Structure 1
Amino acid sequence: MQAAAPLRPHRDDVRIAVGGLLGGLALWGIGLPVNGGRPLGGTWALVPLVVMAALELLRRTRPRLAVIIGTVAVIADQFTDGNLATVLMFTDLMYAGALYGTPAAARRLPVVTGLLTVAVTLGFVAWWRKPEAVLVGVLTGLVSFAPAATGMLVRGHREAAQTERLRAEQTALLAELDRTQAVTAERARMARELHDMVANHLSAIAIHSTAALSLDDEDTTRTALKTIRENSVDGLAEMRRLIGILRDAGEDTEPVAAPTLAGLGALVEQSRANGLDVRLTVSGAATGLPAPVELATYRIVQESLTNALKHAAPGPVSVAVDRSDERVEVRVDSPYGDRDGPRAPGSGAGLVGMRERAALLGGTFDAGPSDDAGPDGNAGSWRVHAALPLHTEGGDPT
């Protein structure tokens, strides 16, 4: 909806009206008429002048009305001695009509004035049959078509400038949204990476420290302290690696290789050292995988073993990685039931991270209790299942 035009005239329009009226009075006072030998002489020339000055107050708020009445006034001025200020103010009304009028009126005004100019020229040429008749058409064009066309051009430039400003604002807004989304995505990636790298070590430290405090046995305490030290050193190394990546020390910093499926054996051995009975099965070619898929597979297995260490009931944990031509499937089954030993606290961020990694690659992820027999043959297990397509247009799973 178009906003209603203001009732009060613009201060610039008031200045134009006052200036035109005073200028016209000065020209009339010194006896400088435009026309000669017209039927209405004397003070009659002041009537169109005053009307035109009043219309200048409407040039911005009611441009269409000002053009219509102004046209009548300038025609009436031709029957008086005339006044140059009246004609000049009329040209300003034509200019303002194209500049401030509605888009449809602004488009029609140059066309109408152009046709009027041609018609007046042809009419006077046919009437007078003299070359001087062309000058009447030229004057008509100067006071009607020229200002209307100028107003239309200025309006076009203003609209183009406004469009460019809006486009620049939209571009800046989109850039800010992209920046915000990039920061959010990077924060999520860092959170996943930090959780997957450190949670396993901290969970083992929490469980073994609880066991060392609850059991009064020297050998158990020594074993627990040894495991705690190993996980502390490994966790510290992982933290230093992540901090080094974030700081981006410079070109001399060697790139850190991302975990691969070849590292699953070492990951399983570490889990066994932490007290898990893990069985690993890898079928299909373990090489030639896309780097994002390989990293996501490793992280899902790592987080699943971390969750098993924190929450699973006693018993073996099975890890199966199956690579086909189309996808890589990861299945981790651990005993599901009551746990007698110490637990490490969990926040659920691990499941969220695994689901995000699968979704970024266009894969699927499920985790929950399963009625199938567990790895130890007992009923009931907690199953983590992820299917990651090898050919995907997804983003970086890290």
Structure 2
Amino acid sequence: MEPAARPHPHDVLIAVLGLSGGLLLGLLGLHMQSGRLFDGLRTALVPLVPMAGAELLRRTRPGTALALATPLLIADQLTPGNVATVLMYTDVVYAAVVYGSPAAARRVPVVSLLCTVALTLGLLTRLHPAEAVLVGVLAGLVSFVPAITGVSVRGHRDAADAARLRAEQTALLAETDRKLAVAAERSRMARELHDMVAGHLSAIAIHSTAALSIDEPKTSREALEVIRENSVDGLAEMRRLIGLLRRGGDPDVPGAAPRLSALDALIEQSRTHAASSGLTCVLEDARDDGGTLPAPVELAAYRIVQEALTNALKHAAPGIVRVRLARPGRILTVEVTSVYGERPGPRAPGSGAGLIGMRERVELLGGTVRAGAEQEREGTTVWRVRAELPLIEGAEKGR
């Protein structure tokens, strides 16, 4: 069994003030009526004390308090009466609506109104109509008006609670959106940084390994030239990205990111880097002149080709690395194939971050991508990367 809740300090104060005021009125001999069944002045104090006790329950047990206070008010009408008893009853009615259950908050005003009307109609048969109406008005002031006041106060409290809840939910959603935006921005930065630097560093790693393992001046000089070229290009890309971040720019905005028109230069650069590994890079552009592509699509296609060429430089066996672009309808297809198998010479390690970034780029555009080893008709096994990007402006999600 749960222990009874202690009275609220404010309820204790109200009870003490009501009891003290009633006792003071009794000592002064002030009363509301005369000619009652119990006409002694002290008899008015009998309902006063338990009415003060009912006030102690107004917040913790409002229904019980009202059930106790109602017969006490009726008993007070059999005595000369005490204003403090009546005032405390009105407060108990108010508290029953404000602190009671939702059902009680709906029921108390209705019952008080019906009782007021019934009392007025009953007195019309015994008293003068004016007196009966006056008593009915007083009864309404004692029971119905406090109930209606409680309904209004409870409505305002419920509205305030709902507004506070909505504010908390809005703040929670805003914080969630902020975290998602930060995570998305970090993912974009990670993809851009990887795509810009990975190819250059892979070429540096492979050619530096070749220069160290092959003790020939010509080979070493060629390797150093490639290393220097990739170092300068990688540094320029890093400076571009740092400049965008300092200006608060987005690396995916038009003009700041490479476009498919720069694929020729990328293929030529990859062809130079991959020559020592026995790789030949070829571009086959089967697109028709269908107009300008959306900037996010061009960036994603360029980065997919760049990452696929980087992976071929690190892992592909000697042979042709073929880059194919096509535009069937409202879809841009990007396909990169390279010979799958063992390769001689130095290799650069891979982390798999490039494939993850590739998939993220394609998913943001609502496209599809797949990568894996496949058997060609000629019997050659190739590693194929194929992406399909829908040509819908603003299709990128999470923006």
Higher alpha-carbon deviation: 231-240 or 38-47: 38-47
2:293 paired with 1:294: no
8 Å Cα contact 1:98/1:106 also seen in 2: yes
The one-letter code matched in structure 2 to 1:163 is A
2:15 paired with 1:17: yes
The residue aligned with 1:95 is 94
Change in Cα spacing, 1:396 to 1:236, as seen in structure 2 (3 Å) is farther
The residue aligned with 1:283 is 286
Q: How much has 1:378 moved relative to structure 2?
A: 5.7
Q: How much has 1:262 moved relative to structure 2?
A: 1.3
The residue aligned with 2:186 is 187
Alignment of 1:176-325 (within 5 A): 176-248=175-247, 256-275=255-274, 276-285=279-288, 287-325=291-329
Cα-to-partner distance string for 1:350-394 (whole Å, 9 max, x where unaligned): 000111111111111111111125xxx662111111111123763
Write the distance in 2 (CA, Å) between the matches of 1:255 and 1:236: 21
The one-letter code matched in structure 2 to 1:108 is R
Q: How much has 1:249 moved relative to structure 2?
A: 7.6
Higher alpha-carbon deviation: 329-338 or 279-288: 279-288
Alignment of 1:64-83 (within 5 A): 64-83=63-82
Partner of 2:35: helix, strand, or coil? coil
Change in Cα spacing, 1:392 to 1:370, as seen in structure 2 (3 Å) is farther
The residue aligned with 2:139 is 140
8 Å Cα contact 1:361/1:397 also seen in 2: no
Q: How much has 1:155 moved relative to structure 2?
A: 1.1
8 Å Cα contact 2:184/2:398 also seen in 1: no
Partner of 1:385: helix, strand, or coil? strand
Cα-to-partner distance string for 1:182-224 (whole Å, 9 max, x where unaligned): 0000000011011111111111111111101110111111111
The residue aligned with 2:388 is 387
8 Å Cα contact 1:361/1:392 also seen in 2: no
Show structure 2 runs of 5+ residues with no match.
Answer: none
The residue aligned with 2:25 is 27
The residue aligned with 1:63 is 62
Write the distance in 2 (CA, Å) between the matches of 1:81 and 1:397: 76
8 Å Cα contact 1:289/1:390 also seen in 2: yes
Alignment of 1:314-393 (within 5 A): 314-372=318-376, 379-391=380-392
Write the distance in 1 (CA, Å) between the matches of 2:397 and 2:67: 66
Write the distance in 2 (CA, Å) between the matches of 1:144 and 1:47: 21
8 Å Cα contact 2:254/2:295 also seen in 1: no
Change in Cα spacing, 1:217 to 1:282, as seen in structure 2 (3 Å) is same
Q: TM-score, normalised by structure 1?
A: 0.93
Q: How much has 1:293 moved relative to structure 2?
A: 1.3
Show structure 1 runs of 5+ residues with no match.
Answer: none
Write the distance in 1 (CA, Å) between the matches of 2:366 and 2:394: 8
Change in Cα spacing, 1:6 to 1:228, as seen in structure 2 (3 Å) is farther
Write the distance in 1 (CA, Å) between the matches of 2:388 and 2:333: 4
Change in Cα spacing, 1:266 to 1:314, as seen in structure 2 (3 Å) is same
Partner of 2:86: helix, strand, or coil? helix
Q: How much has 1:98 moved relative to structure 2?
A: 0.6
The one-letter code matched in structure 1 to 2:87 is L
Q: How much has 1:89 moved relative to structure 2?
A: 0.6
Q: How much has 1:67 moved relative to structure 2?
A: 0.9
The one-letter code matched in structure 2 to 1:16 is I
Write the distance in 2 (CA, Å) between the matches of 1:257 and 1:20: 77
Question: CA RMSD of the aligned region, Å?
Answer: 2.0
Higher alpha-carbon deviation: 254-263 or 178-187: 254-263
8 Å Cα contact 1:35/1:81 also seen in 2: yes
Partner of 1:343: helix, strand, or coil? coil
8 Å Cα contact 1:295/1:397 also seen in 2: no
Write the distance in 1 (CA, Å) between the matches of 2:126 and 2:383: 104
The residue aligned with 1:49 is 48
Partner of 2:376: helix, strand, or coil? strand
Change in Cα spacing, 1:249 to 1:365, as seen in structure 2 (3 Å) is closer
Change in Cα spacing, 1:334 to 1:397, as seen in structure 2 (3 Å) is farther
Cα-to-partner distance string for 1:314-350 (whole Å, 9 max, x where unaligned): 1111111111112111111111111221111211000
Write the distance in 1 (CA, Å) between the matches of 2:286 and 2:270: 21
Write the distance in 2 (CA, Å) between the matches of 1:227 and 1:68: 94
Write the distance in 1 (CA, Å) between the matches of 2:346 and 2:126: 113
Q: TM-score, normalised by structure 2?
A: 0.93
The residue aligned with 1:7 is 5
Paired residues, number? 389
Q: How much has 1:76 moved relative to structure 2?
A: 1.1
